[in-house]
Structure 1
């Protein structure tokens, strides 16, 4: 909710989304701001406006059309946009973010409507600070930045990846109350290796292959230096960078500024939250679990490392904890004898003979859970699920790849092939599943939306100087502790998305408490941290 009073008038005010109320301008406001005659005479409350949005969306065909409608609404009337999202978050999150945002990114250049976010091309090296100064808000607290190289499971989409920072920051606000005026989506355009895009006359990015090496690192460094100079309280979230850039960028900057990588740390935290929830069903101990990952990139190693660190808090050494995880990629099981492993993968390489079939790795390593972050669909096949079920009374099956078309298995497959014994969560949404015996299961979505908006709210409210690994463990526990016994009975191991705002504010309060405990805050510690968080949360309402 903006407290800013309109200084614009007439058509300029109606075209300024932060202050535009559309038909909710009162008669007095229409006279004051020279809006008479520019709007239909009927006055409508925000509630009626939202009802009209719901009605219009119901008549649109396909989620991409709904995505475009909501994008246009965000450009016209920010308050109505967020009020709509927050009126039914479980309905609208799949439209403004995954899975629909994937299609929107693929078709970005063909459906482009208008400016949103900052596009920083490498051709502007030496002038990045000047470009950032064109942003209308001078106090930026959050930047979600991508270079578009590894968008979801869809690959290199160039500047089409801008849909991801825009969508993520919308969820910062809709799911955790981060005021939208403090958020900036950014795309670093260093070219693209997607030759279909380079040959497309409608492609809007730089038309050359990706810049690599020292020139790339210097460009990113200039961007970070400019952000710190212009926005000293800003937290930078790295998003959808290729593994060989994502891991070193996070390692280089994590102790120098307030920053994190959601693909690595957010994904890890939501997976850890799912594991905590799963253990409430199975009754097992975290330190007794063994996990086999399908996929060996930064998401897999990030999850494995965070679980390992959580295990150390329960008594294991870090080496003992890491030894309870294994990775399986396109070349098979990651064993120590392989010569193609990156440094970030080596802590999870196992002393074992090579295996090139995932089901054989399951049978050999006997994991209690399998976690899919491969972006390759259907690899959790019937053989795999049945093997997990033979090894475990309640096997943990987490196909986390996005979008839905990339999921390693469906909820129906996991429940059917395990005879209803799987503890299931996926990266994309699946409907409830009823088995032949009448049992109904509600699959959970291990969506990072349970983590990154809450992390953002905690950082915003405390003005934190750093984001640490332990903050993600705190967040994971805070998510899991909110799952009710009734939800667990249906197999649901995450809080219902319909109550995502309350869930996120609870997580944010827990993380904020940790930030204050570790002296990472720039503001004084309040007496009631949860009340302080809720008071600072954005509420979509028109100001008088």
Structure 2
């Protein structure tokens, strides 16, 4: 099988003309059309006389962006730009990525998704309703053939960015993740499909809102839900057999279960399980290197045992198993705390399959208040405290000080999103630990005491996993591929060179990071035999050395540039 590059450098075929052309964001370039293009496509009279470059347009768009003071207004402006001129939108973001990242993703995107039905202007993405499963295949087919699509992001909207059930607002997170696939990993936006599975919502505020755009009934569960998802996945396999399927923000009862069902059947992964686990493990490995110890010596408390928390536990376990650590020794070093407190074996009937392996033995906790995080920390004396609870201020000063009594450099990761749901702020953590803590957060924070705070963002891993899997046409996303990602991310941490530097790279370097992550994925997939591409066109082999493969990966990455337009007849 040959590989079709993601980044095309030749002319862009355009079957449209006149005013119609200006309403299609893929082809519209406003004042950026050359005079020859204006004449060829019959748009001379629709545009001002000035001929401007993409750089001119980006400067104007940035001035407009800066005139807006509220992040949600800036988010809305950017979404409006996206449906006008796709190239200009991505160029603006690429030029100002670090500044705009928190506006297009967490925490501002959470607010935009909460307001999805009220901010609605123009539909983007593929909407599939559980009331009409017969429409799934035709709805997906409208996006192109198997040679047109590389990546599909799907969400049912049950657990979005720490704000819970958002129903049809699921399309907002699918779109946001698709945008990051392009910005971070250079995946052509035309080759991605954002999908929302509308299976109802349990959000009473949405159901009571006359402007809500989704199905107005409680979430469907059980056999009907499973049949709907199965029909969707089977349609993806049939229509886009080479595409990677990305599950996003499914609820606790479905996220891991669906991953376990479909992972053996096609190239798919769940960002909340594997992505969160991988980026957190990468940061933990970087922290362990700073401590000068090894992962098998670390005692972990994971506060919040939902999809993300159990995903992190599983990534730690998988890594240590690969390192030859006995299974029981691993279990003995990981404790999960959730709404009932410390998860215990006596709770077995109420625990999820993902939680059950980590349940603590009841007899070891006699006489201790297992609903108190302080009491739990006092007994375990953890090296690492990881928050995935969406319970703000749960890491109190007493908890942090207790932790700092027993370990020289506590590892504290408050990862809940958005920012208002963080278990503690970096300032609070560093004050309680006399500046000794190693910190990573789920959302961006300003430097504290001159220290840059690592942002434990999934964007450091999932775009690279996706790009690498696309380029090698992986038929599965394996544990070894994820492990290769973790090791590469840890090696790229600034703290690997300076122990006082952040545990993760800077978002400003995300395209380089994603290229390196993708390269690690490609090489591991080739080694595993999961890659379906051995040779490129003209019989040239995919480079097997890292630098050679990295050069090849970067050459495939899409850039927001105006390509020459070539007029073709409409089909």
Normalising by the smaller structure, the TM-score range is over 0.9
Q: What pairs up with 1:140-179 in 2 under 5 angstroms?
A: 140-179=149-188
Q: What pairs up with 1:218-297 in 2 under 5 angstroms?
A: 218-297=227-306
Rounded to whole Å, the distance in 1 between the matches of 2:201 and 2:493 is: 42
Rounded to whole Å, the distance in 1 between the matches of 2:87 and 2:557 is: 14
Residue 21 of structure 1, aligned match among 29, 44, 48? 29
- Secondary structure of the equivalent of 1:398? strand
User: 1:96 corresponds to which residue?
Assistant: 104
Which deviates more, 307-316 or 499-508? 307-316
Residue 366 of structure 1, aligned match among 377, 381, 386? 381
User: 1:476 corresponds to which residue?
Assistant: 486
Deviations 1:279-324 (A, max 9, x none): 2322121111111010111211111111111112323023322321
User: 2:136 corresponds to which residue?
Assistant: 128
Rounded to whole Å, the distance in 2 between the matches of 1:205 and 1:152 is: 19
User: 2:542 corresponds to which residue?
Assistant: 526
- Secondary structure of the equivalent of 1:244? coil
Deviations 1:356-404 (A, max 9, x none): 1011111111111010001111101101111111111110000011110
2:337 corresponds to 1:321: no
Rounded to whole Å, the distance in 2 between the matches of 1:41 and 1:127 is: 46
For these two proteins, the number of residue pairs brought into alignment is 539
Residue 113 of structure 1, aligned match among 108, 111, 121? 121
Rounded to whole Å, the distance in 2 between the matches of 1:307 and 1:25 is: 52
Contact 1:309-1:318 at 8 Å conserved across structures? no
- Residues 134, 486 of structure 1: alpha-carbon distance in 2 compared, 3 angstrom cutoff: closer
1:131: Cα distance to partner? 2.0
1:337: Cα distance to partner? 2.0
Deviations 1:395-433 (A, max 9, x none): 000001111011111111111111110000010111011
The structure, 1 or 2, with the larger RCO (C-alpha pairs under 8 Å, 6+ apart) is 2
1:335: Cα distance to partner? 1.6
Flag structure 2 segments of 5+ consecutive residues without an equivalent.
1-6, 535-540, 565-571
User: 2:538 corresponds to which residue?
Assistant: none
2:474 corresponds to 1:464: yes
- Secondary structure of the equivalent of 1:337? helix
Rounded to whole Å, the distance in 2 between the matches of 1:104 and 1:204 is: 14
Contact 1:25-1:43 at 8 Å conserved across structures? yes
1:487: Cα distance to partner? 7.2
Deviations 1:156-204 (A, max 9, x none): 1110121101000100010111111110110000111111111111000
User: 2:427 corresponds to which residue?
Assistant: 412
Flag structure 1 segments of 5+ consecutive residues without an equivalent.
435-439
Contact 1:156-1:192 at 8 Å conserved across structures? yes
- Secondary structure of the equivalent of 1:530? helix
User: 2:443 corresponds to which residue?
Assistant: 428
Contact 1:309-1:321 at 8 Å conserved across structures? no
User: 1:443 corresponds to which residue?
Assistant: 453
Contact 1:371-1:400 at 8 Å conserved across structures? yes
Q: Please, what TM-score do these two structures have when normalized by structure 2?
A: 0.92
- Secondary structure of the equivalent of 2:195? strand
Residue 403 of structure 1, aligned match among 418, 424, 427? 418
Deviations 1:202-255 (A, max 9, x none): 000011111110000000011111111111112111111111011210111111
